[in-house]
Amino acid sequence: MAGTIKPMCIVLIAAILVAAVAPCSEAAIGGTVVSYLNPCLPYVTNKGPLGSCCSGVKGLYGAAQTTPDRQSVCSCLKSLAGSYKDVDLSKAAGLPGQCGVNIPYKISPSTDCSKVN
């Protein structure tokens, strides 16, 4: 029984994240943010190492090719940062640099995504 609690918690957290970004579908990339960043969840919630998170960060960065896509990703990240209580905001904000990706905004609940180009 104890061995099934951890996987169930992970599924629950993933479901919460999906629900949190459901309104982020204004651009094509919006619905895929969670799938790219799911490997980062243990790291930004202080429950595990960086692991394969950077491949997701780099994949998401590469997939957001247009201004609407980049603004949609920004909005989703902003929503996640503001709605998920266990996220360490400093770790979330540091992910791009940690993974060698340069994005023109800070991952934060206060980011103005309309200014992202």
CA 110 to CA 2: how far, in whole Å?
39
Domain architecture of the chain: domains with CATH: 2-115 (1.10.110.10)
Distances (CA, A) of 109 to 1, 3, 5, 90: 37, 35, 30, 12
Q: How far is CA 64 from CA 56, 58, 117, in A?
A: 12, 10, 11
Contact between 21 and 67 under an 8 Å Cβ cutoff? The reply is: no
Distance CA 114, CA 117 (A): 8
Per-residue pLDDT band for 84 (boundaries 50, 70, 90) equals confident
Q: Where does the pLDDT of residue 4 fall: very low under 50, low under 70, confident under 90, or very high at 90 and above?
A: low
- Asked whether residue 35 carries a pLDDT value surpassing 80, the answer given is yes
For the stretch 5-28, pLDDT in tens is 555 545 445 444 444 444 454 545
Rg (Cα) of the chain, in Å, rounded? 14
pTM above threshold 0.75: no
